[in-house]
């Protein structure tokens, strides 16, 4: 791939040879320079290094011999292609020149065609040489680019505020950034280059890395976990790194310090609890006053007044429920809700709640029944919290069941768990709403639920209480037919069997 006009230098003491070679080679479109002695030829080469593609060198010259010139040319640039012109049939000197690194030779006398063929071969070789050189430079350049890119990425990772920790598939920690070391409060040498299980990582972090690396199913599935470390809260997201065929090659963990978010959340909960607490007394007073008026203890009422005050009382009750839910929630978040765990039979708290709910069910002509059970096993639980669970579930069942429906509560045993169910013949829950049903403030929005007062907090409270007792809750529901909530709580004494069965 020759792009420029080839440049040839002819070094010969005989003018006739110089001119003859120039003429023949110029005809091929090649540019030719000449030198009448070895020294001058070397000067030309020194003056413009890299400019000659081939050199024709007469071996028989007065002054510096052709062999010496050849030596010096090779010393200047070993890539230069030198064709020696040998004297009449002196094969030995041609052999010697080739040994010294000449590319080719041409014995005198030669025809113009012989000269062209030899030079052309040298030029082709030169062209290949240049191409190889070009490719070598390109490769070097791209290697440099890769190295620069690598160091750029490393700089970026090192400057990140989030911690980064990378493990290979052999479970060795191969990369950490300063933020990760700072958050985990470990020196680099106690983690980098070590298997993560033998490093100073916290057990929670080791667990999610282990889960990620040992996962069998393919696809991108990240795991998140919050944990505390030295009075700080960290959140770790670990994702697998996979190759083209989906095999796990390692894991990347991004660590965030969420202590300030936790602090903000705590302040928010305290604020809500404080406001709810302050609102409760005056609203309860309003509700009592309304009850007094509605009971005609402050004089007669017109039908219209009674209707309006009844509505006001209903809304006030709704507000009191909201306040109670908010206070329960903030107690749960502060870890104060489930404080007094004791060996307990679920029978009693459920019976208590069913008795309390009876009036509400009767008001809607709903048949509420707690079916007899033979369960004798105890659970280790907080009594008030258990009442909280069933108050919410049973009151929901009544709220979301049309007049004349049925609500059934059952108690049974299943493996290492006590199982309680609350089922109704109500409106049911759509499949698409089920995943969010335990979220705070989530309420299903349909024409049937529009008129029903609620806060969307009840089920999230239920779920938090169940979780705090290491139990589980699930739902079976069919729109228009009814809903069943199933609560499983581990028996006393606690055995992990119940939890295993749930998984
Ligand atoms: P709310 O105060 O709105 O009742 P919850 O957290 O107790 O809040 O319930 C969340 C939502 O779940 C409700 O708004 C309702 O749409 C739905 N839901 C709860 N229990 C039932 C049930 N037994 N039948 C039908 N829908 C229900």
Sketch out the chain's domains with CATH numbers: 7-135 (3.40.50.2300), 139-257 (3.30.450.20), 258-336 (1.10.287), 339-502 (3.30.565.10)
User: What average pLDDT does the segment 405-410 reach?
Assistant: 98
Cα–Cα distance, 320 to 313 (Å, whole number): 10
User: What average pLDDT does the segment 355-361 reach?
Assistant: 95
**Cβ proximity of 341 and 381 under 8 Å:** yes
Cα–Cα distance, 24 to 96 (Å, whole number): 27
The pLDDT, as a whole number, for residue 2 is: 44
Residue 344 near ligand 1, beta carbon < 6 Å: no
| CA 456 / ligand 1 centre spacing (Å) | 7
> How many residues are given for the chain?
503
- Name the pTM for this structure: 0.56
Task: Give the pairing type, strands 379-382 and 232-242.
Answer: unpaired
Closest residue to atom 8 of ligand 1, CA basis: 456
DSSP H/E element including 211: helix 203-213
Closest residue to atom 4 of ligand 1, CA basis: 454
The pLDDT, as a whole number, for residue 495 is: 63
The 31-35 sheet, strands edge to edge: 31-35, 7-11, 54-58, 82-86, 104-107
What's the burial of 433, exposed, middle or buried (CB within 10 Å: 0-12/13-18/19+)?
A: middle
User: What average pLDDT does the segment 380-394 reach?
Assistant: 93
Residue 465 near ligand 1, beta carbon < 6 Å: no
The pLDDT, as a whole number, for residue 340 is: 82
Closest residue to atom 23 of ligand 1, CA basis: 397
Return the residue matching tokens 């040489």: 129
The pLDDT, as a whole number, for residue 199 is: 81
Tell me which of 207-211, 243-247, 280-284 is least confident.
243-247
The stretches of 255-302 forming alpha helices (DSSP H) are 259-294
Residue 6 near ligand 1, beta carbon < 6 Å: no
User: What average pLDDT does the segment 480-501 reach?
Assistant: 81
The pLDDT, as a whole number, for residue 89 is: 54
Evaluated on CA atoms 74, 80, 81, 85, the torsion sign reads negative
Would the pLDDT of 104 be above 70? yes
Residue 429 near ligand 1, beta carbon < 6 Å: yes
Cα–Cα distance, 87 to 453 (Å, whole number): 116
pLDDT, tens only, 38-51: 999 999 999 988 88
| CA 486 / ligand 1 centre spacing (Å) | 15
Would the pLDDT of 317 be above 60? yes
What's the burial of 411, exposed, middle or buried (CB within 10 Å: 0-12/13-18/19+)?
A: buried
Average model confidence (pLDDT) across the chain: 90
Which band of pLDDT confidence, cut at 50, 70 and 90, is reported for residue 1? Answer: very low
pLDDT, tens only, 116-156: 999 999 999 999 988 998 999 999 888 888 888 889 999 99
Task: Give the pairing type, strands 232-242 and 223-229.
Answer: antiparallel
Closest residue to atom 21 of ligand 1, CA basis: 396
| CA 264 / ligand 1 centre spacing (Å) | 29
User: What average pLDDT does the segment 25-35 reach?
Assistant: 93
Atom of ligand 1 nearest to the CA of 392: 7
| CA 288 / ligand 1 centre spacing (Å) | 27
Residue 396 near ligand 1, beta carbon < 6 Å: yes
Would the pLDDT of 88 be above 90? no
Mutate to test the pocket of ligand 1, among 402, 442, 444, 461 (most ligand atoms within 8 A of CB): 444
The pLDDT, as a whole number, for residue 220 is: 60
Residue 422 near ligand 1, beta carbon < 6 Å: no
The pLDDT, as a whole number, for residue 218 is: 65
């Amino acid at each position: 791939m020759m792009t420029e006009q080839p440049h040839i230098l002819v070094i010969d003491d005989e003018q006739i040879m110089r001119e003859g070679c120039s003429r023949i080679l110029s005809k091929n479109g090649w540019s030719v320079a000449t030198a009448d002695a070895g020294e001058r030829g070397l000067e030309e080469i020194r003056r413009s290094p890299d400019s000659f593609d081939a050199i024709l060198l007469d071996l028989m010259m007065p002054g510096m011999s052709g062999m010496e010139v050849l030596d010096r040319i090779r010393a200047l640039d070993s890539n230069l292609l030198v064709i020696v012109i040998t004297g009449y049939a002196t094969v030995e000197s041609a052999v010697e020149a080739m040994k010294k690194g000449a590319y080719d030779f041409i014995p005198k006398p030669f025809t113009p065609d012989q000269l062209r063929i030899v030079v052309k071969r040298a030029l082709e070789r030169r062209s290949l040489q240049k191409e190889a050189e070009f490719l070598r430079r390109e490769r070097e350049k791209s290697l440099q680019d890769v190295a620069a890119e690598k160091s750029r990425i490393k700089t970026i990772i090192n400057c990140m505020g989030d911690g980064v920790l990378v493990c290979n598939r052999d479970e060795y920690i191969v990369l950490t950034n300063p933020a990760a070391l700072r958050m985990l409060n470990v020196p680099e040498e106690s983690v980098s280059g070590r298997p993560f299980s033998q490093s100073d990582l916290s057990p929670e972090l080791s667990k999610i890395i282990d889960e990620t690396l040992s996962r069998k199913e393919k696809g991108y599935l990240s795991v998140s976990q919050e944990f505390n470390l030295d009075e700080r809260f960290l959140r770790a997201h670990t994702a697998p790194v996979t190759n083209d065929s989906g095999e796990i090659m390692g894991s990347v963990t991004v660590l965030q310090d969420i202590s300030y978010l936790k602090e903000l959340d705590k302040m928010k909960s305290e604020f809500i609890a404080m406001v709810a607490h302050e609102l409760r007394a005056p609203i309860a007073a309003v509700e009592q006053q309304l009850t007094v008026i509605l009971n005609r203890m402050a004089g007669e009422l017109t039908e219209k007044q009674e209707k309006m005050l009844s509505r006001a009382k209903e809304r006030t009750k709704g507000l009191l429920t909201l306040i109670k839910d908010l206070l329960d929630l903030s107690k749960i978040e502060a870890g104060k809700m489930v404080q007094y765990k004791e060996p307990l039979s679920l029978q009693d708290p459920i019976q208590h709640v069913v008795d309390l709910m009876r009036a509400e069910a009767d008001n809607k002509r709903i048949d509420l029944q707690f079916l007899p059970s033979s369960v004798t096993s105890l659970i280790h639980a907080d009594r008030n919290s258990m009442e909280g669970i069933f108050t919410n579930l049973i009151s929901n069942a009544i709220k979301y069941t049309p007049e004349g429906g049925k609500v059934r509560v059952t108690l049974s045993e299943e493996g290492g768990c006590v199982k309680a169910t609350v089922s109704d013949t109500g409106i049911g829950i759509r499949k698409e709403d089920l995943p969010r049903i335990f979220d705070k403030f989530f309420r299903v929005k349909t024409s049937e639920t529009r008129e029903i007062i609620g806060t969307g907090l009840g089920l999230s409270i239920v779920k938090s209480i169940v979780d705090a007792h290491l139990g589980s809750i699930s739902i079976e529901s069919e729109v228009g037919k009814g809903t069943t909530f199933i609560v499983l709580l581990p028996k006393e004494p606690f055995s992990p069997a119940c939890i295993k069965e749930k998984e």
